[in-house]
Structure 1
Amino acid sequence: MEPVGTITVVLLLILVATTIVARWKKEQRSQNYPPGPPALPLIGNLLQVRAADTCKTFRKLSEKYGPVFSLRFGSERVVVVFGYEVVREVLVNRGDEFTDRGRFPLAEKSNKDLGIFMSNGEMWTQTRRFTLTTLRDFGMGKRSVEEQVQEETAMLLQELERTKGRPFDPAMLLSAAVGNAICRILFGERFGYDDEEYRHVLRRLAENFQVESSIAGQLYNILPGLMDRLPGPHHTLFRNNSFIQDFLAKKVAEHEATLDLAAPRDFVDAFLRRMEQEKGKPGTAFRRDNMQTTVFDMFVAGTESTSITLRYCLMLLLEHPEVAGKVQEEIERVLGRERPPTLRDRGVMPYTEAVLHEAQRYLDLVPLGFIRTVKRDTPLGGFTIPKGCTIYPVLSSALRDPRHFENPEAFDPRHFLDEKGGFKRSEAFLPFSAGKRMCLGESLARTQLFLFLTAILQRFQLRHPPGRPPRLDLRPQVSGIMNIPRPAQLCFCPR
């Protein structure tokens, strides 16, 4: 290329870049739009956000641009909300404006705007109201669910005893135990820990959680059209979803064959009865496709997230034996060695409660929160968020807010203890989110975490496998939509 031609190309590139930046700045000023870094054509700010540690990138950007700042992912405008106060503003104080779920292509492909997780508008309102009422009817937050979890706890302890203190990875066993709690509510039945079909479903579910938080999963949510044409693990996720949905559909079909409309036995029966009552009604959410997706949402959300949290809590206690020792001292004092734990014990076991809360805070399971979109032009943090804009309410920024947790980067149960050793709540504790779209299974999750953990520590001493490195790596194996802990082998030695 001639020198004059080269100079001309360079000048044109500079002119184009200057025009893009000027247009971006003008747009922000004219709309009172939140500030943020300049975006490149077509790809936006993708190169500035580290997929492997998105929260760290967001933290640095918030230090420069403030708690409300903007990005572009491809052509999509995104506003990131960082810090407890503004996160609460979005989730609770202005919850009506920010209630709608934002675009989440990985889930949309399977859920098709149905169910409890991805639906919006009247479909979401009807489904959520029915789900809340039905969960209460079938014991959520009541003695019946507690008794079911206690029964499952006894079976879990038997399986742990069979290991005879030998090293093993408890991930599958914990998933099976936790999953049985939601299966009892959905289908009125549990599955044996050696049930191969159930284990296969759980393996695929665990794989999906890994894929969702991988770089490929994150790129799919930003560039779904392109990623559909490229090979990668995201295609495995869709195949896994189909397998899990087929398994659940088979259980629904079994219920239909034995359904008594006058005496629903569980969630599925209750939904089938409501479908019959609203047959032919326009706009109803009580359709077969919505039932299948709702059951899928509840099974997925009620299984892996709680089992991951329980597994990580055990890993933390293995790495902090002084904390595990204090929990076991409290168990000895309140329960002794024989009496099984009950939910009533939670109120007189403040240190155990503090440890469970701190483990959830430190794990930071869903660091970015789940994407929202704004229904109308809405003021936030001194800016105007335009209708349809995607919102990231970063839950990690609340769970690790130094104004609410003195030492946010360390595992420290004192974050939830007062001066007298009593349990102390924190308004910034938001692992289940907050507002109208907070996790519906919070009560069940908290029941399981307390009963499973106290029963395990009452019966077993946690040990490192002989001859292995004396420390576990507590950093996430994958950090994206979720923080997924690394696999770990533990020894459950009878006390």
Structure 2
Amino acid sequence: MSLVNVLLCAVLMLLPVVMLLFSRSSSQKKLKEPPGPKPLPIIGNILDLDFKRLYVSLCSMSKKYGPIFTVYLGPKKMVVLAGYETVKQALVHRAEEFEDRDINPMFSDFNQGHGILFSNGENWKAMRRFALSPLRDFGMGKRGSEERIIDEIQYLKEVFKQFKGKPFDNTGPVTYAVSNIISAIVYGSRFDYSDPVFQDMVHRSSANMKLMGSPSVQLYNMFPWLRSWIKNRNLIMINRGQVINQINELVEKLQESLNPQDCRGVVDCFLAQQKKAEESGEKNSFFHRQNLLYTVANLFGAGTDTTAATLRWGFLFMAKYPHIQDRVHEEIDRVIGGRQPVMEDRKNLPYTDAVIHEVQRLADVSALGVPHSTTCDVTFQGYFIKKGTTVLPLLASVLNDENEWESPHTFNPAHFLDKQGRFVKKDAFLPFSAGRRICVGESLAKMELFLFFSSLLQHFHFTPPPGVTEDQLDLTPVVGTTLTPTPHELCAVSRIV
């Protein structure tokens, strides 16, 4: 039986409870709630939305209903925040009221309340607080990470050189390289690209990022009782189980040689904290194995997919817009020459820096953002939002806000340059979200993007495959949890610097 038929049967079966699902108390009726399209019984507004490009549908709705509106994903109510000013006001100025993470059925199945990304309350606070400390200690935004990234760049350059300017899909090598950075910080060492365990972990994690954004999984989140019919949900859980087992095996190996006075990475720091809690007889400690495994899984997934996707978008944009690539080459050659770029060079490479920021803005890999939940009843911009309501800060509406960007739908590095060609920061540049739930790896990701991009552009010129014109390069994204480029091949032609 198809999912559509299952859904139709469900509607007929659940009609008796329609009035219950959509009823409002008399007190709430008097309160002004955000506007939105009228929902149908049971299915809500799902017929008004394109679940293959949900962020596009929601951006279109914001033009009709304004910067704060309501949609129903099945019976579940969601308030959408659109545009820079609205998102900033909620996540930054009203951070405490909007700080909880909305944990849908899939995320609940996947994380079981553990880790950082999809937990709330004291567990989230403890794990985030813990993660920030060792991530800083092991180089997030510091020279230690810069050296790791530069070392990894050498491996990636060698892989690119092996293709001798012929077309290839750079997905695997780029993803392995980026994943190795977070792996070195978490485990204390990198993996060889040919390591089958490493490859399997990366591929399963990347597959789950795509599957979680699929229409069938979104349907499961709306109607959890459909789980037996949702093949993608089952695949996610199989992948999750395998990755957690692999992480556990790595953790056990590290535990055998643990020296709490000489921690090699995040895992060692966690194990040292766990040991300290056990020795002191601390009850209800958050430093237990499940939190360790899921925190590592969160860091591994979040620290790989978005940055790797952004780099791949960057190389694709360079092949698509050769005149922009030529200006990047010219600036790098003039300022750096043949030596290895370092973070200190960024201030002297304003055009290259602007291009990287524009890649992040237009690629918009986290277009939907990650749903929040209100921690209490909120009156926001004149509208009432009940405690526990799902709230979606729509990042696509921020990075494409027509009030903030001169040409929001075109690739234009001038968005980040003044008239003198100097780099300028833009307040509406929020690819990592904002507020208390901002990405914990923001500074590391910024460093990776600059060093990988500038180093590879220093050594390679990216072009379409022979017989393919720049105009024929497809910029349509593949939609999952993140937006990744459509599968493609590029040529990485070595340059003489």
What's the TM-score once normalised by structure 2's chain length?
Answer: 0.92
Contact 2:102-2:373 at 8 Å conserved across structures: yes
Paired AA for residue 406 in structure 2:
E
Q: How many angstroms does 1:22 deviate by?
A: 10
**TM-aligned CA distance change 1:304 to 1:19, over 3 Å:** closer
Question: Partners in 2 of 1:25 and 1:109 — Cα distance?
Answer: 31
Find the counterpart in structure 2 of residue 202 from structure 1. Answer: 202
Find the counterpart in structure 2 of residue 269 from structure 1. Answer: 268
Paired AA for residue 257 in structure 1:
E
**TM-aligned CA distance change 1:111 to 1:169, over 3 Å:** same
Question: Partners in 2 of 1:396 and 1:255 — Cα distance?
Answer: 41
Question: Partners in 1 of 2:22 and 2:335 — Cα distance?
Answer: 67
Contact 1:24-1:38 at 8 Å conserved across structures: no
Identity of aligned residues (%): 39
- Write out per-residue CA displacement over residues 16-73 of structure 1, whole angstroms, 9 at most, x where no aligned residue: 9x98999679787423211111111111112111102222222232222221111222
Q: In the TM superposition, what are the counterparts of 1:281-430 in structure 2 within 5 Å?
A: 281-336=282-337, 338-430=338-430
Paired AA for residue 214 in structure 2:
S
Paired AA for residue 241 in structure 1:
R
Contact 1:78-1:389 at 8 Å conserved across structures: yes
Question: Partners in 2 of 1:137 and 1:148 — Cα distance?
Answer: 14
Give the 3-state SS of the residue equivalent to 2:34 in structure 1. coil
Find the counterpart in structure 2 of residue 249 from structure 1. Answer: 248
Contact 1:104-1:371 at 8 Å conserved across structures: no
Question: Partners in 2 of 1:60 and 1:340 — Cα distance?
Answer: 44
Q: How many angstroms does 1:477 deviate by?
A: 2.2
Give the 3-state SS of the residue equivalent to 2:79 in structure 1. strand
**TM-aligned CA distance change 1:356 to 1:438, over 3 Å:** same
Paired AA for residue 474 in structure 2:
D
Contact 2:306-2:482 at 8 Å conserved across structures: no
Q: 1:487 and 2:478 equivalent?
A: no
Give the 3-state SS of the residue equivalent to 2:37 in structure 1. coil
Find the counterpart in structure 1 of residue 476 from structure 2. Answer: 475
Paired AA for residue 38 in structure 1:
K
Question: Partners in 2 of 1:475 and 1:24 — Cα distance?
Answer: 41
- Write out per-residue CA displacement over residues 148-171 of structure 1, whole angstroms, 9 at most, x where no aligned residue: 100011111111111111111000
Contact 2:217-2:230 at 8 Å conserved across structures: no
Contact 2:59-2:396 at 8 Å conserved across structures: no
Contact 1:218-1:481 at 8 Å conserved across structures: no
Q: What 5-or-longer segments of structure 1 have no aligned partner? A: 1-15
Question: Partners in 2 of 1:288 and 1:19 — Cα distance?
Answer: 44
Q: How many angstroms does 1:463 deviate by?
A: 1.7
Q: How many angstroms does 1:74 deviate by?
A: 2.4
Over the residues paired in the alignment, what is the CA RMSD in angstroms?
A: 2.0
Question: Partners in 2 of 1:103 and 1:267 — Cα distance?
Answer: 25
Question: Partners in 2 of 1:328 and 1:157 — Cα distance?
Answer: 16
Q: How many angstroms does 1:129 deviate by?
A: 0.8
Paired AA for residue 475 in structure 1:
T
Give the 3-state SS of the residue equivalent to 1:272 in structure 2. helix
Paired AA for residue 473 in structure 1:
D
Contact 2:341-2:451 at 8 Å conserved across structures: yes
Q: 1:93 and 2:93 equivalent?
A: yes
Question: Partners in 2 of 1:411 and 1:28 — Cα distance?
Answer: 45
Question: Partners in 1 of 2:64 and 2:395 — Cα distance?
Answer: 19
Paired AA for residue 44 in structure 2:
G
Paired AA for residue 230 in structure 1:
W
Give the 3-state SS of the residue equivalent to 1:130 in structure 2. helix
**TM-aligned CA distance change 1:22 to 1:343, over 3 Å:** closer
Q: What 5-or-longer segments of structure 2 have no aligned partner? A: 1-15
- Write out per-residue CA displacement over residues 297-320 of structure 1, whole angstroms, 9 at most, x where no aligned residue: 001111121111100110011000
Give the 3-state SS of the residue equivalent to 1:365 in structure 2. coil
Question: Partners in 1 of 2:27 and 2:347 — Cα distance?
Answer: 54
Contact 1:28-1:35 at 8 Å conserved across structures: no
Paired AA for residue 323 in structure 1:
I
Q: 1:446 and 2:471 equivalent?
A: no
Q: 1:234 and 2:233 equivalent?
A: yes
Question: Partners in 2 of 1:22 and 1:463 — Cα distance?
Answer: 54
Q: How many angstroms does 1:252 deviate by?
A: 0.3
Find the counterpart in structure 1 of residue 13 from structure 2. Answer: none
Question: Partners in 1 of 2:22 and 2:243 — Cα distance?
Answer: 49
Question: Partners in 1 of 2:327 and 2:27 — Cα distance?
Answer: 57
Question: Partners in 1 of 2:61 and 2:364 — Cα distance?
Answer: 20
Give the 3-state SS of the residue equivalent to 2:328 in structure 1. helix
Q: 384-393 or 31-40, which moves further after superposition?
A: 31-40
Paired AA for residue 355 in structure 1:
V
Q: How many angstroms does 1:206 deviate by?
A: 2.0
Contact 1:172-1:202 at 8 Å conserved across structures: no
Question: Partners in 1 of 2:207 and 2:165 — Cα distance?
Answer: 27
Give the 3-state SS of the residue equivalent to 1:37 in structure 2. coil
Q: How many angstroms does 1:240 deviate by?
A: 1.1
What's the TM-score once normalised by structure 1's chain length?
Answer: 0.93
Question: Partners in 1 of 2:24 and 2:66 — Cα distance?
Answer: 18
Contact 2:356-2:450 at 8 Å conserved across structures: yes
